[in-house]
Amino acid sequence: MAEERLQKILSQAGVASRRHAEQLMAEGRVVVNGSVVTQLGSKADFERDHIKVDGRLLRPPKHLVYIALHKPTATVSTVSDPENRDTVMDLIRGVKERVYPVGRLDYHSEGLLLFTNDGDLANAVMSSATHLPKTYLVKINGALTADQEQRFREGVPLSGRRTMPAGLKLIRQAENPWYEVKLHEGRNNQIRIMFKHFGRLVEKLKRVRIGPVDLGPIKPGQFRYLDADEVEKLKRAIQVKGIQVKGEQVKGIQVKKERSKA
Protein backbone atom coordinates (compact mmCIF):
# COMPACT_ATOMS: atom_id res chain seq x y z
CA MET A 1 0.00 0.00 0.00
CA ALA A 2 1.36 3.46 -0.91
CA GLU A 3 2.20 6.02 1.73
CA GLU A 4 -0.49 8.54 2.58
CA ARG A 5 -0.73 11.58 4.82
CA LEU A 6 -1.22 10.66 8.47
CA GLN A 7 -4.32 12.87 8.68
CA LYS A 8 -5.96 10.76 5.99
CA ILE A 9 -4.90 7.49 7.61
CA LEU A 10 -6.32 8.52 10.98
CA SER A 11 -9.55 9.51 9.26
CA GLN A 12 -9.78 6.22 7.35
CA ALA A 13 -9.20 4.32 10.60
CA GLY A 14 -12.21 6.02 12.14
CA VAL A 15 -10.17 7.91 14.74
CA ALA A 16 -11.27 11.42 13.83
CA SER A 17 -11.99 13.80 11.00
CA ARG A 18 -8.92 15.07 9.19
CA ARG A 19 -9.15 18.40 10.99
CA HIS A 20 -9.29 16.70 14.40
CA ALA A 21 -6.50 14.34 13.31
CA GLU A 22 -4.28 17.36 12.73
CA GLN A 23 -5.02 18.49 16.27
CA LEU A 24 -4.11 15.05 17.64
CA MET A 25 -0.79 15.22 15.81
CA ALA A 26 -0.05 18.75 17.04
CA GLU A 27 -0.68 17.57 20.61
CA GLY A 28 1.91 14.79 20.23
CA ARG A 29 -0.62 11.97 20.56
CA VAL A 30 0.31 10.18 17.32
CA VAL A 31 3.22 7.75 17.24
CA VAL A 32 4.59 6.02 14.12
CA ASN A 33 7.03 3.14 14.58
CA GLY A 34 7.87 4.35 18.08
CA SER A 35 8.40 8.01 17.21
CA VAL A 36 6.04 10.88 17.98
CA VAL A 37 4.96 12.62 14.77
CA THR A 38 3.77 16.23 14.89
CA GLN A 39 4.62 17.39 11.35
CA LEU A 40 1.34 17.72 9.44
CA GLY A 41 2.86 16.75 6.09
CA SER A 42 4.14 13.42 7.42
CA LYS A 43 3.21 10.21 5.61
CA ALA A 44 2.98 6.55 6.52
CA ASP A 45 1.88 3.19 5.15
CA PHE A 46 -1.19 1.95 7.00
CA GLU A 47 -0.42 -1.72 6.24
CA ARG A 48 3.32 -1.62 6.93
CA ASP A 49 3.83 0.94 9.70
CA HIS A 50 2.79 0.69 13.35
CA ILE A 51 0.62 3.75 14.04
CA LYS A 52 -0.68 4.50 17.52
CA VAL A 53 -2.98 7.19 18.86
CA ASP A 54 -2.99 7.64 22.63
CA GLY A 55 -1.14 4.32 22.87
CA ARG A 56 -3.74 2.43 20.86
CA LEU A 57 -2.56 0.59 17.73
CA LEU A 58 -4.62 1.53 14.69
CA ARG A 59 -6.10 -1.11 12.42
CA PRO A 60 -8.28 -0.66 9.33
CA PRO A 61 -11.98 -0.91 10.30
CA LYS A 62 -13.45 -4.37 9.71
CA HIS A 63 -16.85 -2.92 8.86
CA LEU A 64 -17.84 0.49 7.62
CA VAL A 65 -20.71 1.83 9.69
CA TYR A 66 -23.07 4.72 8.95
CA ILE A 67 -25.34 6.06 11.69
CA ALA A 68 -28.06 8.73 11.85
CA LEU A 69 -28.54 10.27 15.29
CA HIS A 70 -31.30 12.63 16.37
CA LYS A 71 -29.15 15.04 18.35
CA PRO A 72 -31.09 16.62 21.21
CA THR A 73 -30.58 20.19 22.33
CA ALA A 74 -28.10 20.96 25.13
CA THR A 75 -25.65 18.41 23.70
CA VAL A 76 -22.20 19.10 22.24
CA SER A 77 -21.43 17.67 18.78
CA THR A 78 -17.84 16.73 19.61
CA VAL A 79 -16.04 13.65 20.84
CA SER A 80 -15.14 15.37 24.13
CA ASP A 81 -15.86 18.66 25.85
CA PRO A 82 -13.51 20.64 28.14
CA GLU A 83 -16.53 21.94 30.08
CA ASN A 84 -17.74 18.37 30.75
CA ARG A 85 -21.07 18.94 29.03
CA ASP A 86 -23.00 16.02 27.55
CA THR A 87 -21.66 15.05 24.11
CA VAL A 88 -23.22 13.13 21.25
CA MET A 89 -20.79 10.29 21.95
CA ASP A 90 -22.76 9.54 25.13
CA LEU A 91 -25.75 8.69 22.93
CA ILE A 92 -24.14 6.05 20.72
CA ARG A 93 -22.81 3.71 23.38
CA GLY A 94 -23.08 0.12 22.30
CA VAL A 95 -21.70 0.72 18.80
CA LYS A 96 -18.78 -1.71 18.53
CA GLU A 97 -16.94 0.18 15.82
CA ARG A 98 -15.17 3.40 16.63
CA VAL A 99 -17.14 6.15 14.89
CA TYR A 100 -17.11 9.93 15.06
CA PRO A 101 -19.56 12.71 14.16
CA VAL A 102 -19.62 14.08 10.62
CA GLY A 103 -19.80 17.84 11.02
CA ARG A 104 -21.64 19.57 13.85
CA LEU A 105 -24.87 21.01 15.13
CA ASP A 106 -24.59 23.80 17.66
CA TYR A 107 -25.38 23.28 21.34
CA HIS A 108 -28.91 24.71 21.19
CA SER A 109 -29.92 22.97 17.94
CA GLU A 110 -31.30 19.49 17.38
CA GLY A 111 -31.76 17.09 14.51
CA LEU A 112 -29.87 14.88 12.10
CA LEU A 113 -26.20 14.20 12.78
CA LEU A 114 -24.29 11.51 10.90
CA PHE A 115 -21.60 9.24 12.38
CA THR A 116 -19.24 6.92 10.53
CA ASN A 117 -15.82 5.28 10.48
CA ASP A 118 -15.62 5.88 6.72
CA GLY A 119 -13.12 8.71 6.55
CA ASP A 120 -13.43 9.27 2.81
CA LEU A 121 -17.20 9.71 2.97
CA ALA A 122 -17.03 11.86 6.11
CA ASN A 123 -14.55 14.23 4.54
CA ALA A 124 -16.60 14.41 1.33
CA VAL A 125 -19.77 15.28 3.26
CA MET A 126 -17.95 18.01 5.21
CA SER A 127 -16.00 19.37 2.24
CA SER A 128 -16.87 22.93 1.25
CA ALA A 129 -16.46 21.81 -2.38
CA THR A 130 -19.35 19.34 -2.09
CA HIS A 131 -22.10 21.86 -1.26
CA LEU A 132 -24.28 18.97 -0.14
CA PRO A 133 -27.69 20.50 0.69
CA LYS A 134 -28.83 20.39 4.31
CA THR A 135 -32.45 21.10 5.26
CA TYR A 136 -33.64 22.66 8.53
CA LEU A 137 -36.94 23.52 10.20
CA VAL A 138 -36.64 26.88 11.96
CA LYS A 139 -39.03 28.72 14.29
CA ILE A 140 -38.44 32.47 14.61
CA ASN A 141 -39.98 35.29 16.63
CA GLY A 142 -41.87 37.01 13.83
CA ALA A 143 -42.43 36.61 10.10
CA LEU A 144 -40.14 38.05 7.43
CA THR A 145 -41.55 40.36 4.79
CA ALA A 146 -41.63 39.21 1.17
CA ASP A 147 -38.65 41.45 0.43
CA GLN A 148 -36.69 40.04 3.37
CA GLU A 149 -37.46 36.48 2.27
CA GLN A 150 -36.05 37.20 -1.18
CA ARG A 151 -32.93 38.84 0.25
CA PHE A 152 -32.48 35.83 2.57
CA ARG A 153 -32.59 33.51 -0.48
CA GLU A 154 -30.06 35.62 -2.39
CA GLY A 155 -27.59 35.66 0.51
CA VAL A 156 -26.60 38.07 3.25
CA PRO A 157 -23.23 39.46 4.44
CA LEU A 158 -21.55 37.20 6.98
CA SER A 159 -18.02 37.84 8.28
CA GLY A 160 -17.14 39.88 5.22
CA ARG A 161 -18.41 37.29 2.72
CA ARG A 162 -21.93 36.87 1.38
CA THR A 163 -23.66 33.57 2.07
CA MET A 164 -24.47 31.29 -0.85
CA PRO A 165 -28.02 31.34 -2.26
CA ALA A 166 -30.34 29.48 0.12
CA GLY A 167 -33.77 27.91 0.00
CA LEU A 168 -36.46 29.47 2.19
CA LYS A 169 -40.14 28.49 2.45
CA LEU A 170 -42.78 29.48 5.00
CA ILE A 171 -44.34 26.21 6.20
CA ARG A 172 -46.39 27.33 9.21
CA GLN A 173 -47.81 30.83 9.43
CA ALA A 174 -48.22 32.10 12.99
CA GLU A 175 -47.08 34.88 15.30
CA ASN A 176 -43.88 32.86 15.65
CA PRO A 177 -43.75 31.14 12.25
CA TRP A 178 -41.83 28.07 11.04
CA TYR A 179 -39.64 28.17 7.94
CA GLU A 180 -37.91 25.46 5.96
CA VAL A 181 -34.34 26.52 5.20
CA LYS A 182 -32.03 24.73 2.77
CA LEU A 183 -28.31 25.55 2.86
CA HIS A 184 -25.47 24.46 0.58
CA GLU A 185 -22.77 25.53 3.01
CA GLY A 186 -22.26 25.20 6.76
CA ARG A 187 -20.75 28.30 8.30
CA ASN A 188 -20.79 28.68 12.08
CA ASN A 189 -24.26 29.59 13.42
CA GLN A 190 -25.18 30.57 9.87
CA ILE A 191 -28.98 30.29 10.07
CA ARG A 192 -29.20 32.16 13.37
CA ILE A 193 -27.01 34.96 12.01
CA MET A 194 -28.94 35.16 8.73
CA PHE A 195 -32.27 35.63 10.52
CA LYS A 196 -30.68 38.07 12.98
CA HIS A 197 -29.63 40.15 9.95
CA PHE A 198 -33.35 40.84 9.48
CA GLY A 199 -34.04 41.47 13.17
CA ARG A 200 -35.42 38.01 13.88
CA LEU A 201 -34.28 35.54 16.56
CA VAL A 202 -34.31 31.78 16.14
CA GLU A 203 -36.35 30.05 18.84
CA LYS A 204 -35.98 26.47 17.60
CA LEU A 205 -33.76 24.90 14.96
CA LYS A 206 -33.92 21.30 13.77
CA ARG A 207 -31.94 19.70 10.93
CA VAL A 208 -34.11 17.14 9.14
CA ARG A 209 -32.09 16.19 6.07
CA ILE A 210 -28.49 15.89 4.82
CA GLY A 211 -28.40 15.35 1.06
CA PRO A 212 -30.69 12.36 0.42
CA VAL A 213 -30.66 11.17 4.06
CA ASP A 214 -33.74 11.99 6.15
CA LEU A 215 -33.87 12.18 9.93
CA GLY A 216 -36.98 10.01 9.88
CA PRO A 217 -39.13 9.18 12.92
CA ILE A 218 -36.35 8.64 15.47
CA LYS A 219 -36.76 10.73 18.61
CA PRO A 220 -34.14 12.98 20.29
CA GLY A 221 -31.40 10.81 21.76
CA GLN A 222 -32.11 7.85 19.42
CA PHE A 223 -30.02 6.62 16.52
CA ARG A 224 -30.29 4.14 13.68
CA TYR A 225 -27.95 2.56 11.17
CA LEU A 226 -28.33 3.73 7.58
CA ASP A 227 -29.25 0.93 5.19
CA ALA A 228 -27.22 0.15 2.08
CA ASP A 229 -29.61 2.05 -0.20
CA GLU A 230 -29.28 5.24 1.88
CA VAL A 231 -25.48 4.99 1.87
CA GLU A 232 -25.42 4.43 -1.88
CA LYS A 233 -27.66 7.45 -2.49
CA LEU A 234 -25.43 9.56 -0.25
CA LYS A 235 -22.33 8.47 -2.15
CA ARG A 236 -24.00 9.19 -5.49
CA ALA A 237 -24.99 12.67 -4.29
CA ILE A 238 -21.37 13.35 -3.37
CA GLN A 239 -20.05 11.99 -6.67
CA VAL A 240 -22.41 14.26 -8.59
CA LYS A 241 -20.49 17.09 -6.96
CA GLY A 242 -17.22 15.62 -8.25
CA ILE A 243 -15.92 13.90 -5.10
CA GLN A 244 -15.37 10.15 -5.32
CA VAL A 245 -15.74 7.78 -2.38
CA LYS A 246 -15.05 4.08 -2.14
CA GLY A 247 -17.90 1.59 -2.14
CA GLU A 248 -18.13 -0.93 0.70
CA GLN A 249 -20.70 -3.29 2.15
CA VAL A 250 -22.58 -1.70 5.04
CA LYS A 251 -24.57 -2.91 8.00
CA GLY A 252 -28.36 -3.15 7.88
CA ILE A 253 -30.71 -0.63 9.39
CA GLN A 254 -31.29 -0.70 13.12
CA VAL A 255 -32.88 1.63 15.67
CA LYS A 256 -31.53 1.98 19.19
CA LYS A 257 -33.34 3.94 21.89
CA GLU A 258 -31.44 6.10 24.31
CA ARG A 259 -32.55 8.34 27.13
CA SER A 260 -33.75 11.60 25.63
CA LYS A 261 -31.86 14.68 26.80
CA ALA A 262 -34.03 17.21 24.99
pLDDT per residue as tens digits for the range 118-151? 888 988 898 878 889 999 999 999 999 999 999 9
For this structure, is 106 an active site residue? Answer: yes
Please identify which of the residues 106, 120, 214, 229 carries the catalytic annotation: 106
End-to-end CA distance of the chain: 46
pLDDT per residue as tens digits for the range 180-201? 999 999 899 999 999 999 999 9
Half-sphere exposure of 79 (CA within 13 A, CB side): 16
pTM: 0.79
3-state DSSP call for residue 212? Answer: coil
pLDDT per residue as tens digits for the range 228-237? 999 999 999 9
Q: How far apart are CA 138 and CA 215, in angstroms?
A: 15
Q: Angle, nearest 10°, between helix axes 119-126 and 228-240?
A: 50
User: Mind listing the domains of the chain with CATH numbers?
Assistant: 4-57 (3.10.290.10), 66-129+212-256 (3.30.70.580), 134-210 (3.30.70.1560)
